[in-house]
Amino acid sequence: MADADRPQIYLITPPAFDLAPFADRLKSVLDAHDIACLRLTLAAKDEDALARAADALREIAHARDVAIVVENHVLLADRHGLDGVHLTDTRKNIRKLRDDMGADAIIGAYCGITRHDGMNAAEAGADYVSFGPVGQTNLGDGTSVDHELFEWWSAMIEVPVVAEGALTTALVEKFAPVTDFFAVSDEIWAADDASAALKALLAPLG
């Protein structure tokens, strides 16, 4: 696949991790692979823990020219010098967020499997729209996003699209022609060697 057509890679942190060992694992992945963006996705509601993670991962990402966004915590993004926010609730006012955060901030929107939500987010000014899960999962109601949605989006909409959720090597090969980014998380963090797992997952991209 030509580099110009090759989807970029977007890493998502696990929802829970010990900061020091995870930081070392993250460094090894970022040093071995060309990563476009990192999403901090912590399930914890502890503000201090989130702040420590934001500061540590920002330093690691920015030292390697990788953008970093945080899931939902808009104020955290601003206070800790992150590059933007990833919204899991597209009912939030993206236009107001754009005014508040400024033109340079990254605002992404997860839209599940729904074209309508994706179009609304794109029209409101989201920098990218994410659909998923792409693969089969026992989480939620088990529904996965249709390949046809990505085909339609890539042909009709200029806003970049992200494929995420239960990715496999076969799905990477299938969706590569119709997505701008693959967002990767549990697919690699469950492995002992996350960098090797990512290399294997992305093998179809060459």
pLDDT in tens, 135-186: 988 766 778 999 999 999 999 999 999 999 999 999 999 999 999 999 999 9
Over residues 42-59, the mean pLDDT reads: 93
Domain ranges of the chain: 3-205
Over residues 78-99, the mean pLDDT reads: 91
Q: What topology is assigned to 3-205 in CATH?
A: TIM Barrel (3.20.20)
In single-letter form, the type of residue at position 175 comes to F
Instruction: Name which of 86, 79, 182 is nearest 126 in CA terms.
Output: 86
- pLDDT reported for residue 137: 82
User: CA–CA separation, 51 vs 86, rounded Å?
Assistant: 16
Over residues 59-74, the mean pLDDT reads: 97
Over residues 55-75, the mean pLDDT reads: 97
User: CA–CA separation, 182 vs 63, rounded Å?
Assistant: 22
- pLDDT reported for residue 2: 41
Query: pLDDT digit string (tens) for 100-127?
Result: 999 999 999 999 999 999 999 999 999 9
